[in-house]
A = this chain, B = another copy of it.
Amino acid sequence: MHTPRRTLSYALLVVTLALAAVHGAAAADDPLPSWADGTAKRAIVDFVQRVTTPGGKDFVPEPERLATFDNDGTLWAEQPIYFQIAFAFDRIKALAPQHPEWQDQEPFKSLLAGDLKGALAGGEKAIVQLVMVSHAGMTTDEFVQSVKDWIATAKHPRFNRPYTECVYQPMLELLAYLRANGFKTYIVSGGGIEFMRPWVEKVYGIPPEQVVGSSIKTKFEMRDGKPVLMRLPEVDFIDDKEGKPVGINKFIGRRPVLAFGNSDGDHQMLQWTAAGSGPRFMGLVHHTDAEREWAYDRTSHIGRLDKALDEAQAKGWTVVDMKQDWQTIFPPAAGR
């Protein structure tokens, strides 16, 4: 009785191992293993093959292969609050002992008491105040250090892992795949340019000089005979909505052939990309996965996706359905 059963088990084991080996080989060849085989993945691979085929009608010379990516909600998560706002709040808490006057002064008083709603009751003015005290009044070097310190220690409240591990594994694969095909990858984010630069190279493989973002003004000064750049509490540039094509033109000086976003803040960047001549790729990450991440679009306060979604559907831009298209959301935890 036992022998046939054992033979069968053995045969099954062999078949299983053989299938696993085949699957493993296929995965090794697949530059986008976290992407499910669907229209989004096929559209990406098809586009890259077309623009990199020498002699093909859609061939794009390597120096013109520019790809721009939004950051919040496109390369890393943006809920329950933009991560840079979390940084600002943590920073204010850290600075509070040097500012006893904040104990009686809004929006700081509420924030320090843990009352976020109260802190934000002052609307835009309160937010600007909170951002400026945490981002201005120091040298650029000092600010970079405060970002590095935070990014190395802070953890996301839901996932209990560093914010830099709340990045999207499928997008990391896409960035690497594009670079392997001669693309120069850029971030074009509404977030602060100097908030991103200290860590994006390590996390995304994107060097600091390929980051476009919002900024405050800086001023060159001599301090003890040494030149420094002081960060002023004054907005310099808002790299969002209509500002994204402006920022692309200002910082990069040529039009991307591929752009990826996730919200109406990226709408004009996608329109600007689409309006160029030759092959174009416009992509949107649609947050549809409440279980593994979040599900939000047309009515969300953070990362609203409404008009851009309409245009994407009308024009046939690629809409990534997070739940369907991404087999994995976040990378494996590092070293734990």
Contact = CB atoms under 8 A, between A and B. Distances in A.
Contacts of A215: 250
Interface string A243-258: 1011001111110000
B207 A219 contact: no
Contact of A194 (B194, B197, B201, B253): B253
B218 A254 contact: no
Interface of A: 63, 66, 140, 184, 193-194, 197, 201, 207-209, 211, 215, 218-220, 226-227, 229, 236, 242-243, 245-246, 249-254, 268, 271-272, 275
Contacts of A201: 63
A265 to B, nearest CB: 13
B275 A226 contact: yes
Contact of A271 (B218, B227, B242): B227
B254 A208 contact: yes
Q: How many copies does the complex hold?
A: 2
B140 A252 contact: no
Contacts of A229: 245-246, 249
Contacts of A250: 193, 215, 218, 236
B220 A252 contact: no
B253 A220 contact: no
15 contacts: A140-B249, A184-B209, A194-B253, A208-B254, A209-B252, A211-B253, A215-B250, A219-B242, A220-B246, A227-B268, A227-B272, A227-B275, A229-B245, A236-B250, A251-B251
B268 A245 contact: no
A208 B218 CA distance: 24
A268 B228 CA distance: 10
Given A209-B253, A220-B243, A229-B245, 6 more contacts: A63-B201, A193-B250, A197-B253, A209-B251, A215-B250, A220-B242
Nearest to A236: B250
A63 B226 contact: no
A324 to B, nearest CB: 30
Contacts of A220: 242-243, 245-246, 268, 272
Contacts of A226: 275
A231 to B, nearest CB: 10
Contact of A253 (B63, B184, B193): B193
Contacts of A194: 253
A173 B51 CA distance: 33
A140 to B, nearest CB: 6
